[in-house]
Amino acid sequence: MADTAEILSGLAEIVEEVAGIDTAEVTAEKSFVDDLDIDSLSMVEIAVQAEDKFGVKIPDDQLAELKTVGDAVSYIEKNQ
């Protein structure tokens, strides 16, 4: 099981691959939509890759609740 730091860095790699955003930009307090300019469809792609990488399920209704990178990290940590 991945710890918080591992989840954050793993998630940052996924965000970089999907949306072309530098991993250094992907920090816990950032909002996906407002700060990182990631739209709802890129979020779906990020969720799919996070599911594979961390062995979690992130259904569409849950995904909509994950506003910040920190939200996603703690969701993954709880559900992995």
Ligand X SMILES: CC(C)(COP(=O)(O)OP(=O)(O)OC[C@H]1O[C@@H](n2cnc3c(N)ncnc32)[C@H](O)[C@@H]1OP(=O)(O)O)[C@@H](O)C(=O)NCCC(=O)NCCS
Query: What residues are annotated to the active site?
Result: 39
Per-residue x/- mask for other proteins, residues 43 to 62, rule CB under 8 A?
-xx-xx-----------x--
Helix, strand, or coil (residue 31): strand
Q: Is residue 61 part of the contact set for ligand X (CB under 6 A)?
A: no
Fill in the amino acid letter for 40: S
Kindly give the interhelix angle for 4-19 and 40-54, rounded to the nearest 10 degrees: 140
* Rounded-to-integer distance, Cα 70 and Cα 31, Å: 9
Q: Does residue number 80 form part of the binding site for ligand X (CB under 6 A)? A: no
Check residue 62 for interaction with ligand X (CB under 6 A). Answer: no
CB of 22 to other proteins, least distance (A): 19
